[in-house]
């Protein structure tokens, strides 16, 4: 961003002294922002030229005052040159600080990133999920490692972060850290939030992400098909903890709720809906959007099964949910024992609800999106793209209808 600077001297007539003199002020305008400073000189307002910004005439007094003002003007331009020579941005803040004798404190990237992460941690389980904090911590570590790898430094002045820095950082994530495309894009996105904080605070004038483009590649979402879902529902295990994990996973398959949203459910989240049936009324922790879901029979059975479970009674929860790590660990055992050849995680239940339970059975995508608590219909459309089976079933119906329409014509032809 090119700095536009203008310098003006003016007489402040509202502050005249007892002998009628007025102080002369220096006004420096940097990109539309003003810095005003007293020159510690006074002048008779009659002798002052507002148009020229100097004392009228060619008297010794006028020459001495105007020479002094020219020196002050030259000093401002010297300050601008000095800032540029030091490799800093000649912006309003830096010029003002130099003029007023304020020691400029270089704002460094790592402390700003660390401060952001501390704030995320302070709002953990309120506005942010543990996984979000973990990603920002990892992103900070990758950023520090990149600074050492590329520049041999442990930190960097944020004003020195430019487009080249961003592209080199992305290259580092892909080549040195061996991050897959979507992983690299997410870390760059995390870093981008720190840059937006700097811009919002006026610490940097230019956005290094201008003209930078990255794209998340769509990945095929894993979900359970109807046969796999039925196999799991019918399976009874000798080990009780596996039955518990299976049931809570199935509950998510028939409600579409993510792990953290199932974990926080209480009896107060169950109420009568618009149709007179029982619904879940909750807000998604990830996006804080409403997610109102009619309870299907399978979900109702699971709630009834665990209503007297000690953990539910002691903690006031709807279901006895284990830690996410334990749930995912036990789900692998459940998958093996059920003969399901898929890498099972709890989040697959949400995908299963969107595909096998709802969209495949003709539930409109708008309704599915609302139940999932998606802010954007495009997010839900990712699920719809993979339903080749639904396309096949729909086309089979169409094929049967066309065959029925053609039958009378065939009979006529035979008769003829």
Stretch 3-21: mean pLDDT:
89
List, in sequence order, the alpha helices (H) in 48-162. 60-85, 92-99, 109-122, 130-151
| Single pTM value for the model | 0.58
- Which has the higher per-residue pLDDT, 100 or 405? 100
Q: What is the pLDDT of residue 365?
A: 87
Classify 226-385 by CATH class. mainly alpha
Question: Over 80: is that where the pLDDT of 303 sits?
Answer: yes
- Residues sharing a CB contact under 8 Å with residue 293, sequence separation 6 or more, in sequence order: 255, 256, 257, 279, 280, 371
Stretch 211-223: mean pLDDT:
80
In which band, very low, low, confident or very high, does the pLDDT at 283 lie, cut at 50, 70 and 90? Answer: confident
- Which has the higher per-residue pLDDT, 128 or 23? 23
Which of these ranges, 116-120, 254-258, 283-287, has the smallest mean pLDDT? 283-287
Q: What is the pLDDT of residue 64?
A: 95
- Which has the higher per-residue pLDDT, 33 or 215? 33
Question: Over 50: is that where the pLDDT of 410 sits?
Answer: no
Phi, psi of 54 (to 5 degrees): -160, 175
Q: What is the pLDDT of residues 63-112, one digit of tens each?
A: 999 999 999 999 999 999 988 887 677 888 888 888 887 765 678 999 99
Q: What is the pLDDT of residue 411?
A: 40
Q: What is the pLDDT of residues 341-364, one digit of tens each?
A: 998 999 899 999 998 899 888 888
Question: Over 70: is that where the pLDDT of 414 sits?
Answer: no
Question: Over 80: is that where the pLDDT of 2 sits?
Answer: no
Q: Mind giving me the DSSP string for 137-206?
A: HHHHHHHHHHHHHHHS-S--BGGG--HHHHHHHHHHHHHTS---HHHHHHHHHHHHHHHHHHHHTTS-SS
In which band, very low, low, confident or very high, does the pLDDT at 386 lie, cut at 50, 70 and 90? Answer: low
How many C-beta atoms lie closer than 10 Å to residue 280's C-beta?
23
- Which has the higher per-residue pLDDT, 216 or 227? 227
Q: What is the pLDDT of residues 154-208, one digit of tens each?
A: 999 998 999 999 999 999 999 999 999 999 999 999 999 999 999 998 888 889 9
Question: Over 60: is that where the pLDDT of 38 sits?
Answer: yes
Q: For residues 95 and 75, is the Cβ–Cβ distance under 8 A? A: no
To the nearest whole number, what is the mean pLDDT of the chain?
A: 88
Question: Over 80: is that where the pLDDT of 263 sits?
Answer: yes
Q: For residues 206 and 90, is the Cβ–Cβ distance under 8 A? A: no
Question: Over 90: is that where the pLDDT of 382 sits?
Answer: no
Return the exposure string of 12-24: e unless at least 16 CB atoms fall within 10 Å of the residue's CB, then b.
Answer: eeeeeeeeebbbb
Stretch 364-382: mean pLDDT:
84
Stretch 19-40: mean pLDDT:
92
Q: What is the pLDDT of residue 373?
A: 85
What span, in angstroms and rounded, lies between the C-alpha atoms of 64 and 85?
31
Stretch 5-24: mean pLDDT:
91
Q: What is the pLDDT of residue 381?
A: 77
Question: Over 80: is that where the pLDDT of 217 sits?
Answer: no
Question: Over 90: is that where the pLDDT of 130 sits?
Answer: no
Q: What is the pLDDT of residue 132?
A: 87
In which band, very low, low, confident or very high, does the pLDDT at 416 lie, cut at 50, 70 and 90? Answer: very low
What is the percent of the chain with per-residue pLDDT over 70, rounded to a whole number?
93
User: Which pairs count as long-range contacts for 136-140, CB under 8 Å and 24+ apart, including other chains?
Assistant: 136/190, 138/187, 139/187, 139/190, 139/191, 140/110, 140/113, 140/114
Q: What is the pLDDT of residue 413?
A: 43
């Amino acid at each position: 961003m090119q700095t536009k600077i203008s310098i003006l001297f003016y007489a402040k007539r509202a502050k005249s002294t007892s002998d009628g003199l007025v102080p002369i002020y220096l006004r420096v305008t940097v990109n539309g922002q003003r810095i005003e400073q007293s020159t510690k000189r006074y002048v008779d307002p009659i002798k002052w030229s507002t148009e020229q910004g100097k004392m009228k005439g060619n008297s010794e007094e006028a020459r001495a005052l105007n020479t002094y003002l020219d020196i002050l003007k030259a000093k401002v331009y010297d300050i601008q040159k000095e800032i540029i020579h030091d490799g800093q941005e000649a912006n309003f803040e830096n010029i003002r600080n130099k003029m007023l004798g304020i020691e400029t404190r270089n704002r460094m990237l790592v402390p700003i990133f660390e401060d952001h992460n501390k704030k995320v941690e302070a709002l953990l389980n309120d506005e942010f999920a543990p996984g979000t904090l973990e990603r920002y911590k990892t992103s900070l570590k990758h950023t520090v490692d990149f600074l050492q790898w590329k520049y041999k430094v442990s930190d960097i002045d944020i004003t020195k972060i430019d487009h080249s820095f961003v592209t080199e950082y992305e290259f580092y994530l892909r080549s040195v850290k061996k991050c897959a495309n979507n992983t690299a894009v997410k870390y760059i996105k995390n870093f981008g939030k720190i840059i937006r904080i700097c811009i919002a605070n006026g610490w940097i004038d230019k956005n290094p992400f201008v003209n930078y483009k990255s794209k998340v590649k769509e990945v095929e979402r894993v979900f359970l098909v109807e046969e796999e879902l039925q196999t799991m529902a019918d399976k009874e295990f000798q080990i009780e903890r596996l039955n518990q994990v299976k049931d809570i996973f199935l509950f998510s398959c028939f409600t579409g709720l993510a792990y953290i949203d199932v974990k926080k459910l209480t009896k107060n989240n169950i109420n009568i809906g618009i149709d007179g049936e029982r619904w879940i009324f909750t807000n998604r922790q990830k996006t804080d959007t409403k997610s109102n879901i009619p309870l299907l029979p399978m979900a109702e059975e699971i709630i009834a099964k665990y209503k007297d479970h000690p953990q539910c009674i002691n903690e006031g929860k709807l279901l006895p949910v284990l830690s996410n790590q334990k749930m995912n660990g036990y789900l692998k055992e459940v998958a093996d024992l059920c003969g399901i050849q898929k890498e099972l995680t709890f989040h697959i239940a949400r995908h299963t609800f969107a595909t096998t339970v709802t969209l495949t059975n003709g539930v409109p995508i708008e309704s599915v999106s609302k139940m999932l608590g998606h802010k954007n219909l495009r997010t839900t459309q990712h699920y719809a793209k993979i339903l080749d089976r639904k396309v096949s079933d729909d086309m089979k119906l169409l094929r049967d209808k066309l065959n029925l329409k053609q039958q009378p014509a065939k009979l006529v032809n035979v008769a003829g």
